[in-house]
Chain A
Amino acid sequence: MNRMYQPEIETASREEMKALQTERLINTVKRVYENVPHYRKKMEEKGVTPEDIKTVDDLYKLPFNYKQDLRDTYPYGMFAVPMKDVVRLHASSGTTGKQIVVGYTEKDMDIWADCCARALTAAGCTDEDMVHVSYGYGLFTGGLGADGGALKLGATAIPVSSGNTQRQVTILKDFGSTILCCTPSYALHIAETMQSLGVTKDDIKLKAGVFGAEPWTNEMRHQIEDMLGIKAFDIYGLTEIIGPGVGFECEEQTGMHINEDHFIVEVIDPDTGEVLPEGTQGELVFSCITKEAFPILRYRTRDIGVITREKCSCGRTLVKMTKPRGRTDDMLIIRGVNVFPSQIETVLIEKGYTANYQIVVDRANNFDSIEVRVELSPENFRDTVKGLDKMAKELSEGLKVILGINAKVVLMEPNSIPRSEGKAVRVIDKRKLLD
């Protein structure tokens, strides 16, 4: 049982897991029905009572919860314990609308730390490691979430937070950080900054990175691994569920294990709300079955993925989900075609570009246009107009194959696309400004 923090849970049999989930779900449903008017009202509207939930298989009977429910009950309308029991608040950034706020009891904090400790352990972290956390510390769950996991493991947490990238490099080098936690786009930015400062991967001790909070591709993973000389692991989470640690990758990297003793996952048809069979792609829906303060049930994540319960070669039996291709919120609809930024990223990296890109969508005369701005590197610079036009054209053709629509490619100078210290801003949708 190497690389497992709680092997008895992580390798539990399907029957054991179902029994555990059933017991926990029944308790949670009862609790929210009794204590939170929001859940009681929703359940009454759907004609469901806590007695209808006899096993985990009855989960589908419960009503969904959406981000809008969190907004409607803002700030504390979905909390299931008195505020005096809440020891921590976190909030989402509010980039896609009004911010939302979630709370944790002392026990919730402990569960969260366990979940992150499992993720770190799977990435090879032990109590001897130095965990460099470059997620923002604050209301955002990334920084303090990863920090809690590192503390729980007994590793050394280095709470660098995000920003001041040159200092990040100095700390990596001087403090001997061995595990890096941040968004994948920030990891890439740190790697670039290292290069520009003349610091090589041999000058640092990093061995692994645990990256999340935004969708990223395997191509970007390889780029980061290459530049930093590490193995890069994905971690999945949402503020609404708990933050980072809802799911994590093991060394097999064939999907993310979900900490399903705490969070039950379902895949549904986003249009009909029907639960889809294992192996079918759909929207991921999570239910918290152990959390006390904010036990959201059947939360519609808008993340698209597939789940499998096949036992993983790592030994874990925890259900696995595919790396989400992106949230439906991130999906662009261009001339009626669904486009995910991650699809564009895949093509760019395949064609030898960096993951520094920006997508600009606009609309003129009722016709959507998409422009992909990507930075040139000295290696792929051609000194003739013909050569550069050919590069742009090849890229545009590559995008057409994947996306099915024509995208204009604009080659940019290095560092001309703004770097992010947290979640990267990939899309500028000018159409929204016109509404």
Chain B
Amino acid sequence: MVRQLSVFIQNKSGKIASVTRTLYQNGIDIRALSVADTADFGILRMLVSDVEKARTALANENCIVSVNEVDVVAVPDRPGGTAEVLQILADANIDIEYMYSLIDRGTSDAYMVFRLSDEANTNNVLEELGLKTVPGKMLGLN
């Protein structure tokens, strides 16, 4: 599994800019990013080059940060690639809490980041279904 950084985002302008600026100032690369938004708040989720360093830097700026485990799955980069993966999960009755995508240059695969429901969020569920999970190292994540 891969460690993901989540940041609580209060609804006010400039907040995401300030988070990304802090990461930049600490020399941290953002490899994937997604925002969950509601009327009152948002959650910024990221895969970054150095999760511990990012966590410390943001916590020092009074951000609310947590580190969670997610799965990164290689998906064939062609029409139907994502649909096939999601069908496998659907057939196995596995619920997805949230997902977003990640592109890595120079491979024939695309990647999907999955946070499965709490019951399914274990190490080898996806492997057992024959899906190809990718370790963080391969994506340049520490």
Binds B, one of A2-10, A129-137, A385-393: A385-393
Given A384-B98, A410-B40, A413-B10, A377-B64 contact (CB < 8 Å)? yes
In this complex, the interface size class of chain B, counting residues with CB under 8 Å from chain A, is 10 to 19
Closest CB-CB distance, B49 to chain A, in whole Å?
A: 20
Q: Could you tell me if B62 and A385 are in contact, using CB atoms closer than 8 angstroms?
A: no
Given A383-B45, A411-B40, A411-B41, A416-B97 contact (CB < 8 Å)? no
Bound complex: CA of A90 vs CA of B40, how far in Å?
A: 44
Chain B positions 45-65 with a Cβ under 8 Å from a chain A Cβ = 45, 59, 62-65
Given A412-B10, A413-B62, A383-B38 contact (CB < 8 Å)? no
Given A381-B8, A413-B8, A388-B62 contact (CB < 8 Å)? no
Bound complex: CA of A415 vs CA of B8, how far in Å?
A: 13
Q: Could you tell me if B63 and A413 are in contact, using CB atoms closer than 8 angstroms?
A: yes
Q: Could you tell me if B66 and A388 are in contact, using CB atoms closer than 8 angstroms?
A: no
Q: Which of A381, A385, A411 contacts B66 (CB 8 A)?
A: A381
Chain A positions 334-391 with a Cβ under 8 Å from a chain B Cβ = 376-378, 381-386, 388-389
Q: List B contacts of A414 (CB < 8 A).
A: 62, 64
Q: Could you tell me if B38 and A389 are in contact, using CB atoms closer than 8 angstroms?
A: yes
Chain B positions 73-132 with a Cβ under 8 Å from a chain A Cβ = 97-98, 115
Q: List A contacts of B43 (CB < 8 A).
A: 383-385, 388
Q: List A contacts of B97 (CB < 8 A).
A: 384, 386
Q: Which of A385, A410, A413 contacts B64 (CB 8 A)?
A: A413
Q: Could you tell me if B36 and A378 are in contact, using CB atoms closer than 8 angstroms?
A: no
Q: List B contacts of A381 (CB < 8 A).
A: 6, 8, 64-66
- Smallest CB-CB separation from A375: which chain B residue? B64
Q: Could you tell me if A376 and B36 are in contact, using CB atoms closer than 8 angstroms?
A: no
- Smallest CB-CB separation from B45: which chain A residue? A383
Closest CB-CB distance, B41 to chain A, in whole Å?
A: 6
Q: Which of A382, A385, A415 contacts B38 (CB 8 A)?
A: A385
Q: List B contacts of A377 (CB < 8 A).
A: 64
- Mask of B7-28 contacts with A, CB within 8 angstroms, 1/0: 0101000000000000000000
Bound complex: CA of A384 vs CA of B37, how far in Å?
A: 10
Q: Could you tell me if B10 and A416 are in contact, using CB atoms closer than 8 angstroms?
A: yes
Q: List B contacts of A383 (CB < 8 A).
A: 6, 43, 45, 66, 68, 115
Q: List B contacts of A412 (CB < 8 A).
A: 10
Q: List A contacts of B65 (CB < 8 A).
A: 378, 381
Q: Which of B40, B59, B115 contacts A378 (CB 8 A)?
A: B59
Bound complex: CA of A385 vs CA of B6, how far in Å?
A: 11
Bound complex: CA of A413 vs CA of B41, how far in Å?
A: 10
Q: Which of B8, B66, B97 has the most CB of A within 10 A?
A: B8
15 A-B Cβ contacts within 8 A? A377-B64, A378-B66, A381-B6, A381-B65, A381-B66, A382-B66, A383-B115, A385-B36, A385-B43, A389-B38, A392-B40, A411-B8, A413-B63, A415-B62, A416-B10
